[in-house]
Amino acid sequence: MKSIAALQKLVTAMPFDGEPSDAELDAIEAEMPLILAEVELLDAQITTLDRAPSPLDVRRIRRARNRVLVARRDLTNRATTALTGGAA
């Protein structure tokens, strides 16, 4: 019985070392305010899973949603500004 082996070199240029590149780390750093706002929203939603939300819980979820929207807006504006070079 013959074994089947690859006759060509691997397609990837570099082996994956498991660590993020500098560009990936910069992207994560730029998105960190949005990530933190989404975690805060998730925490607020999780606290109300096993009980009816109180007025304070409703306010906390609403404020967390607003923080997520603001973080998304800011991230989008920064990306748009970077793409256009600041020109309108």
Q: What is the rounded distance in angstroms from the CA atom of residue 86 to the CA atom of residue 88?
A: 6
pLDDT by residue (tens digit) across 37-75? Answer: 999 999 999 999 999 999 999 999 999 999 999 999 999
Could you give the percent of the chain with pLDDT greater than 70?
A: 77
pLDDT of residue 17: 75
Output the six-digit token pair for 6.
């690859």
Would you tell me how many other CB atoms lie within 10 Å of the CB of residue 63? 13
- Kindly tell me if the per-residue pLDDT of 15 is higher than 60: yes
Give the pTM.
0.70
Summarize the confidence of residues 76-86 as an average pLDDT. 81
Mean per-residue pLDDT over the chain, rounded: 86
